[in-house]
């Protein structure tokens, strides 16, 4: 399968690892939009939020269990952070492997725009 994030998980494309467990891989975004910007992905190809089901929701649970650990590791747990999922073209998704952006180290406005 020609999926960039599957290749990153497999080590076929280099990445800067921030966190890994048996279900989750997290790495620094190549084009950060905040002082700390990590991409968190399931170690299973799920194309987008549209494809979350009862059979794979455990990967989403595992990602959210990893979020506070990664935030603490990055030192952004105290100041706070934003977690974003982009789904589909209107949502701004450019890589069709479910992922969550964890961003911190600056203030974010709301509404997000």
**How far is it, in rounded angstroms, from Cα 22 to Cα 101?**
19
Active-site annotation holder among 37, 97, 99, 101: 99
Q: Which is nearer to ligand AMP, 31 or 78 (CB)?
A: 31
Residue window 70-109: x/- pattern of binding to ligand AMP, with contact defined by CB under 6 A: ----------------x-----xxxx--------------
Asked if residue 53 binds ligand AMP (CB under 6 A), the reply is: no
Among 31, 78, 110, 113, binds ligand AMP (CB under 6 A): 31
Distance CA 76, CA 66 (A): 14
Helix intervals (H) in 1-111: 4-10, 57-74, 88-91
Specify the pairing of strand 36-42 against strand 81-84: unpaired
Provide the annotated active-site residues: 99
């Amino acid at each position: 399968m020609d999926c960039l994030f599957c290749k990153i998980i497999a080590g076929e494309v280099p990445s800067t690892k921030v966190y890994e467990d048996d279900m989750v891989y997290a790495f620094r975004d190549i084009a950060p939009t905040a002082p700390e910007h990590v991409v968190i992905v399931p170690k299973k190809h799920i194309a987008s939020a549209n494809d979350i089901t009862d059979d794979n929701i455990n990967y989403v649970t595992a990602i959210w269990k990893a979020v506070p650990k990664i935030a603490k590791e990055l030192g952004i747990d105290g100041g706070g952070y934003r977690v974003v999922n982009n789904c589909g073209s209107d949502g701004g998704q450019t890589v069709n492997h479910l992922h969550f952006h964890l961003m911190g180290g600056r203030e974010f406005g709301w509404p997000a725009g």
